[in-house]
Structure 1
Amino acid sequence: MSAHLQKWQAEHANYRKLLDLLQTQTATFVHGEEPDYELMADIVYYMTQYPDRYHHPREDAAFSRLLAHDPQAGTLIAELAEEHRSIAESGARLAADLGAAAAGAMMPRATLQEDVRNYATFLDDHMAIEEREIFPRLAASLGDDEWFLVDSAIHFAGDPIFGETVQERFRSIHRRISGQAGCGCKEPAEAACCLE
């Protein structure tokens, strides 16, 4: 498997960690407790700022290169590209709702809980389809020259949580995930951190 696909699978694994943390926070509703709305808002903000702006567009660029090799994948590729747009729209709505909740706005808990569950389930299902159906086709079809063109099509930005440098806004998310993973890292800068 190409280094690109390995990186994308690692990114998917990171996104799943965030979705799990998001759902863990909404589960506090069931017990009548107050979730950490700020943490939830930061997670969704990240999802709308990094995956929606960099990860999904890189996938779309690779998917369009795949069409030249595998025209039969056209319908699936079109569906996945449409899902990328739907994920971005859904994430933007959820970010607005969580931002409002963090600011103290009143909204039904059941609505917010269902919105989070739907977002997380949809995104997880989407990633599973990509990994199962498209990634093997990309691995079999795209050569180094085409991967170079994919890389050139989308401006690169370092991941603000899982990259070399964790942005200040996301340090609490990093600490929460590393705590759940049990890797023992206390600060994002630790070289041995399992999230790096």
Structure 2
Amino acid sequence: MAKEILKLRKEHVNFKKLLDMLDAQLDLLHQGEDPDYQLMTDIIYYLIEYADTSHHPREEAIFSLLLERDPNLVQDVAEITRQHNTIAESGARFHEKLESIINGESEIMQLQEIEAPGRLCITTLRAHMDKEEKGLFMLAEQLLNNDDWKKINVKTRPKSDPLFGTNIDERFLSLCRQLGQAACKNTHDSK
């Protein structure tokens, strides 16, 4: 039932598209130009809202069963779980900074106060996804059986993806258009 791993890999591809967009906005900021803070905020919000509440819990359910199959993976699984927590915390802090800029609540921030945490989020997420894909995902495909995948599916009913799914959340329409998704254009152009 490598279908679940395939879905997680596809989500990683989508996350990487968003990280590329975020990286481009940080490049603008670094060059002294005005980035699209709303776009940056929407990207981080999506990563917090969807990745941290749906994607990561599914991964952790998979890794928990994987650990039952191979107890020697305890350090790898613990490290990935720590990374999930770190990613959630750093993403939330970065989101707060961006929100305060958009809402005009912050005093003028230094370039590094935005760029450094943004770059850290990007670097951390990319390294994290690479580690999962080259390690635990491959092992899960090899070691987990159909009963394991059934348990995972019962345990973690995935919620609909609010950006890359069939029903785009209103908050993400602008981001969706920037991504150039045909489904978004077909579904929401009349709004």
Q: Which amino acid aligns with 2:170?
A: E
Q: Which amino acid aligns with 2:111?
A: R
Greater mean deviation of Cα atoms: 130-139 or 144-153: 144-153
- The aligned residue for residue 54 of structure 1 is 54
Greater mean deviation of Cα atoms: 98-107 or 72-81: 98-107
Query: What do residues 17-49 of structure 1 show as CA deviations (whole Å, max 9, x unaligned)?
Result: 111111111111122111111111111111110
TM-superposed CA distance for 1:189, in Å, is: 5.5
The answer for unaligned runs of 5 or more in structure 1 is 192-196
Query: Could you tell me whether the CA contact under 8 Å between 1:165 and 1:189 is conserved in 2?
Result: no
TM-superposed CA distance for 1:156, in Å, is: 2.3
User: Within 5 A, what are the aligned runs for 1:80-99?
Assistant: 80-99=80-99
- The aligned residue for residue 141 of structure 2 is 139
Alignment of 1:12 with 2:7, yes or no, is no
- The aligned residue for residue 166 of structure 1 is 168
Secondary structure of the residue aligned to 1:28 is: helix
- Aligned-residue Cα RMSD (Å) equals 1.5
Q: Which amino acid aligns with 2:122?
A: A
User: For residues 47 and 150 of structure 1, what CA distance do their matches in structure 2 show?
Assistant: 22
User: Within 5 A, what are the aligned runs for 1:1-196?
Assistant: 2-104=2-104, 105=106, 106-178=108-180, 185=182, 188=184, 190=186
User: For residues 159 and 36 of structure 1, what CA distance do their matches in structure 2 show?
Assistant: 23
More helix by share: 2
Query: Could you tell me whether the CA contact under 8 Å between 2:30 and 2:111 is conserved in 1?
Result: no
User: For residues 168 and 139 of structure 1, what CA distance do their matches in structure 2 show?
Assistant: 35
Secondary structure of the residue aligned to 1:132 is: helix
Query: What do residues 97-150 of structure 1 show as CA deviations (whole Å, max 9, x unaligned)?
Result: 110111222211122111100001001100000000111100011122211211
Q: Which amino acid aligns with 2:161?
A: D
Q: How many residues align?
A: 185
Secondary structure of the residue aligned to 1:107 is: coil
Query: Could you tell me whether the CA contact under 8 Å between 1:45 and 1:95 is conserved in 2?
Result: yes
Query: Could you tell me whether the CA contact under 8 Å between 1:161 and 1:167 is conserved in 2?
Result: yes
Secondary structure of the residue aligned to 1:29 is: helix
Q: Which amino acid aligns with 1:86?
A: T
**Identity percentage over the alignment?**
37
User: For residues 144 and 174 of structure 1, what CA distance do their matches in structure 2 show?
Assistant: 35
> What TM-score, normalized to structure 1?
0.90
> What TM-score, normalized to structure 2?
0.92
